[in-house]
Amino acid sequence: MTFPPPKPASTPGGRPSLAATLIITGCCRLVLNTARRFAYPFAPEISRGLEVPITHVTAMIAVNQLSALLGLLAGPLADRFGFRTAMLAGLALLSIGMLTAGIEGTYVTVLAALFLAGLGKTVFDPAIQAYVGEHVPYRRRALVIGFIEMSWAGSTLVGIPLVGFLIAGYGWQHPFRLMGILGLIGMAAIFLGVPVDQRQRSAAAGPSALFHAWRRLARNRSARMLVLLGFLISMANDGVFVVMGAWLEAQFSLSVTQIGLGTIVIGLAELSGELMTMALADRMGKKRAILCGLFLGAMVYAVLPLLGNSLGWALAGLFSLFLTVEFTIVTTFSLATEVLPHHRATMMAGLLAAAGMGRMAGALAGGWLWVTGGLAAVAANAAILSAAAWIVIALGLRGHRG
């Protein structure tokens, strides 16, 4: 894959190519994404390690999503102080939380670790997405956004299976220690390999810029609709994801290692969704691609409970589900990077904050619906939310060039 050349360097010594920068930051995002996601499939194992009910762990995962609210400050600050600074801050938060839980494994420290990992991702992601928005033409934006989002699939293809092996071999705390160390290594790599973006550092000049950026977002109809879309998609998907491990364990008696390996199917689905975004979204139009993804996702949610009689069919259903969701959300990121061109990090932070709130609501609702109505209730809720998201985009972005 050939990337468009970056804009002229803003530092005397030059900067690495866009592709090199994306590889460095992609590896860091792989660690951040794994830290953000591994508690979902291993919720039963964590609950046993902490000696608490599984509903306590799903509540912990939900509270973790509150970290996305602090992204409301992270976006404007990244626009003001530079993208590299935001990336370093995100990795620092990850390392502090993971190492603390790895040393002292209590409910409070694990809660703090997951919260800080979520906050680290909330700070890191808008910065790299805004960086792409600054350096890549809109007509190719989905191609490059899809590339950097491959680290999301990598967390399920590589990160979560590795966590499963580490838990099985060394105990449930070991992954926390490893991810904390990898976060420190990532900080060194970004510090040495990604130069300061002087243009971004001087883009805003006072505290009022923080509020100005959010006023611009609140007044933009397309921005508001995309924020609502992020909430609905994430609530639907996390309602299923938070109970996925419990469903596979209860329905098919899978071990913790097998559940970890089962997430490879989800990783392949997400990778396929990202590749589809890279191949199709720019060509078919980003708005049209989002609508197609939402429609197909709602259909898969509706049939998922019917696939529980066979492990093969269940995995096929999960593959189809995560493919459509990933295609939809990555295309949404690509469209969102151009909605507020002068406040890209703020726009992406707002979208990610809404997604985090959706994940929190989804985790809370998913755990409760699982206990009261099983997967059928969880999936029905997700299908309704996806249908609502389709309506939001079909009507809310009417006339948008997409």
Q: How much is the pLDDT for 208?
A: 60
Are 294 and 386 in contact by the 8 Å Cβ rule? The answer is yes
Tokens of 158: 């590589």
- Asked, for residue 238, whether it belongs to a domain, the answer is yes
Tokens of 132: 């792409």
Q: How much is the pLDDT for 92?
A: 96
- Asked, for residue 10, whether it belongs to a domain, the answer is no
Are 233 and 355 in contact by the 8 Å Cβ rule? The answer is yes
- Asked, for residue 53, whether it belongs to a domain, the answer is yes
- Residues with Cβ within 8 Å of residue 304, at least 6 apart in sequence: 240, 317, 318, 321, 375, 379
Q: How much is the pLDDT for 3?
A: 41
- Asked, for residue 9, whether it belongs to a domain, the answer is no
**Residue 275 burial (CB count, 10 A):** 18
- Asked, for residue 3, whether it belongs to a domain, the answer is no
Q: How much is the pLDDT for 202?
A: 42
What stretches of 136-207 show up as alpha helix (H) in DSSP? 141-148, 150-154, 160-170, 174-193, 198-201
Q: What is the pTM of this model?
A: 0.79
- Asked, for residue 143, whether it belongs to a domain, the answer is yes
Range of the domain at 291: 18-195+203-396
- Asked, for residue 30, whether it belongs to a domain, the answer is yes
Per-residue pLDDT of the chain (402 residues; tens, 9 = 90+): 444 444 433 443 445 677 888 888 999 999 999 998 888 778 888 888 888 888 788 788 777 767 777 777 777 777 777 888 889 999 999 999 999 999 988 899 999 999 999 889 988 998 888 888 887 888 888 998 999 889 988 888 888 889 988 988 888 889 999 999 999 999 999 988 877 765 444 444 455 656 777 788 888 888 999 999 999 999 999 999 888 878 888 888 777 667 766 677 888 998 999 999 999 999 999 999 999 999 999 999 999 999 888 888 988 999 999 999 999 999 999 999 888 887 888 888 889 888 888 988 898 898 889 989 989 999 999 999 999 999 999 988 876 666
How many domains, the chain? 1
Report the CATH number at residue 32. 1.20.1250.20
Q: How far apart are CA 332 and CA 290, in angstroms?
A: 7
- Asked, for residue 257, whether it belongs to a domain, the answer is yes
- How many CA atoms does the CB half-sphere of 277 hold within 13 Å? 33
